[in-house]
Structure 1
Amino acid sequence: MADPTEDPRSIWSSRRPYNPLVNPTHCKPSLVEEHTEDQNHILCAPPIFGALLFENATSDARDHCANERTFLSWLRMSMYLAVVSLAIIISFHFKDQPTGLERRMALPLGIVFWLLSLTCLINGFANYARTVRKYSRKAALVQSGWKTQLVFTVVGTVILGSCILFLSTDQAA
């Protein structure tokens, strides 16, 4: 059994052999408890590519994993919107040949979806970084804010409007 006064980084590195798939830079982890009083953000603390290691006092590990899953959900949504954007720009038509209206709508609608994709990516990373910083200060409060609600409202409205636009274009043709 490990000595509780021993540095967790030495325990971590002694138990884990070097694995280029898990830790390609061979960095030691960054202890979150050491950065509670720092003015710098925990994600900018050296080593930059090291894992975040924190004491699991209550439900910190579960909450941190939930925060990572939320960021990955934002990333997935951003990728979906980017793929839709490219699909609209490349081939926006319902019949064999696109109509003039479809050609005029393709680029602006694709740019709108691309901007929404970037917005989702930025919002997801900002939520992740803010929550990690609060975890490092033992002050995390997990809730969705008005920015998240605004982004979801805009994305939902654009998707609904695009569906109505696609249906009306299909009937007009």
Structure 2
Amino acid sequence: MPTATATHSTRTHPPPTPDEDAPSSIESQERRPFSEKLWGRLIIPNDARERNFLSWIKLSSTLAVLSAALLIRFQFGSQVQLPEWEQKAQVPLGILFFIACIASLVIGTTTFYRSQSGYAQHKAFVYAGKFTDLLIVGIGLLTLAACILLLAAKA
């Protein structure tokens, strides 16, 4: 009767090529030029960090446009008359939108660099922080309040 012999095959993986993203050692990171350590590589792959940063930039520029429109009291046509309470509310709303614009720009920049350093340290999960969550909720509530206030005007 033939006996069955078990064969175990061990699969070996080839070493990573220089084109692949292999984890680099500390020595190779220390040999990088100072500008690359400070600003990163010149060729930036399109990944989540850059898209997230560009989303913060878009939000910041949108808030800046809203702030400017409220502060200069932009109106379409001369027949539109705003109530006095809405005219008084436009300047504080414009200032709040400007503060939200600056805050979103700062949060977007710090989130980008914090996630970049977290990924460089090979962290599996990089969290933006509770302040970022509070800022997003605050911008949402500010936008909702501005919409309600500006839509409640009698035309």
Pick the TM interval, shorter chain: 0.5 to 0.7
For the pair shown, the structure with the greater C-alpha radius of gyration is: 2
2:86 and 2:149 in contact (8 A); partners too: no
**Identity among equivalent pairs (%):** 32
Over 3 Å counting, the alpha-carbon distance change for 1:50 and 1:125 in structure 2 is closer
TM-score of the superposed pair, with normalisation by structure 2: 0.67
What RMSD, in angstroms, separates the aligned Cα atoms of the two structures?
3.2
Report the equivalent of 1:84. 66
Report the equivalent of 2:10. none
Count of residue correspondences: 126
Report the equivalent of 2:41. 52
Q: 1:101 aligns with which of 60, 85, 94?
A: 85
Work out whether 1:128 is the aligned partner of 2:112: yes
Matches within 5 A, 1:1-173: 34-35=29-30, 46-47=34-35, 51-52=40-41, 65-92=47-74, 95-168=79-152, 170-171=153-154
- Structure 1 unaligned spans of 5+: 6-32, 36-44, 55-60
**C-alpha separation in 1, matches of 2:90 and 2:63:** 14
1:131 and 1:140 in contact (8 A); partners too: no
2:104 and 2:135 in contact (8 A); partners too: yes
TM-score of the superposed pair, with normalisation by structure 1: 0.60
Moved over 4 A (4+): 48-51, 92-95
Superposed displacement of residue 152, structure 1: 1.0
